[in-house]
Amino acid sequence: MNEERFYKLISRKLAGEATILELEELSEMLRQNEDFRNFVQKIEGSSFDAQKSSLEDALDSFDSIAWQLTELTEYSPEHSFDLTKPFVTKKSSKSNKYWRYGILIMAAVFILFCLAIDPFQFNQKASKVSNTEIITSKGQKSALTLSDGTKVWLNTDSKLIYANDFSGKSREVTLIGEAFFDVSHDKNKPFVIHTRDMHIKVLGTAFNVKAYPQDKSSEATLIRGSIQVSFTNRPNEQLILKPNEKIKFVNAQFKTSIKLEEAPLITVEKLLVEASDGSVTETAWTQGRLIFKSKPFIEMISELERRYDINITVEKEGIESKLFTAAFENETIEEVLNLLKMSYHFDFKLDKKNKLVLIY
């Protein structure tokens, strides 16, 4: 149940145990579900703008709640508990630390109790729409066909959320990670893909979307048809892509580190199609291939980690910015690294048992 997952994520966030992916999932839930946002308003006593919300907004909200809950035990009983006013902190002690944990547990129990009595009628909408989540772990991929006939190939370390029955005015799905879509045409019911920073609207077409939260940039690659791309933080801007075009933009958390004169935030470029077999670099993964063309080594690492379910640490100075061009299909991670080091010398140690690679 989405409600149970929502409250579990809130509890983990309040306890400081939520992972980056869980925080991203919680932020996405808040964007998509008005009832969840209303619940946050009731707790925090402040407004939550769904259109302008971001991961940072969500985390700030919950940080504020958690801070006030944990600081509550450091005040005398007569002190009024006002969520709209900051507290004056005192030095903590070991006993206060344990009280904080108690308060967090009580908060989680309270949230679950709210679910039981259903004060905001969460299950009213849930009863109307049944969603399915498909999750691929690192090193795994998945292929599926949606109820409208749309075919989806889900890449490694990705998640797709979709309605079991597209009964509304549009067919909407949510993607975290990478997927290739071959959308069934329906002029009366557009197909919409939501990612954290990007929203893609189509009628019937084939395209690839790459939107890993931890990556520096996200992109959409159009193979045939046309797509309309809009952005969460720039709702008034829309771009229409033509076949064999790709849009690429810097993800929100990396914008402050980018110099606009060196790299624009949004770029549109033509795809390079291999004359020999007609393959496209951006969609080669659907055939089990991994193609790099003038790719910085630091960006290749993320793709290698996802494909081979391994963690890579780089201690070799200067190698991260080097550009590599290579293609792989059935090679092991050891074979890949041996081939790559022929271009720029480096050594590596592979710990297969713990799935670790050290490059030095």
Q: Which two tokens stand for residue 276?
A: 């020999």
Confidence category of residue 129, pLDDT binned at 50, 70, 90: low
Closest CA to 303 of 278, 275, 282: 282
Strand partners, 239: 229
* Cβ pair 204, 216 in contact under 8 A: no
pLDDT tens digit sequence for 147-181? 999 999 999 999 999 988 888 889 999 999 999 99
244: left (phi over 0), alpha (psi -120 to 50) or beta: left
Look at residue 137 and tell me whether its pLDDT is greater than 80. yes
pLDDT tens digit sequence for 50-70? 433 444 444 444 444 444 443
- State the average pLDDT over residues 281-291: 91
pLDDT, residue 336, reads 95
Look at residue 207 and tell me whether its pLDDT is greater than 70. yes
* Cβ pair 88, 74 in contact under 8 A: no
Cβ of 346: how many Cβ atoms within 10 Å? 17
Dihedral sign for Cα atoms in the order 324, 327, 333, 337: negative
pLDDT, residue 310, reads 94
| Whole-number Cα distances in Å, 177 to 202, 219, 221, 355 | 19, 11, 14, 21
pLDDT tens digit sequence for 288-347? 999 998 899 998 999 999 999 999 999 998 999 999 999 999 899 999 999 999 989 899
Confidence category of residue 140, pLDDT binned at 50, 70, 90: very high
pLDDT tens digit sequence for 259-269? 444 445 788 88
- State the average pLDDT over residues 37-50: 55
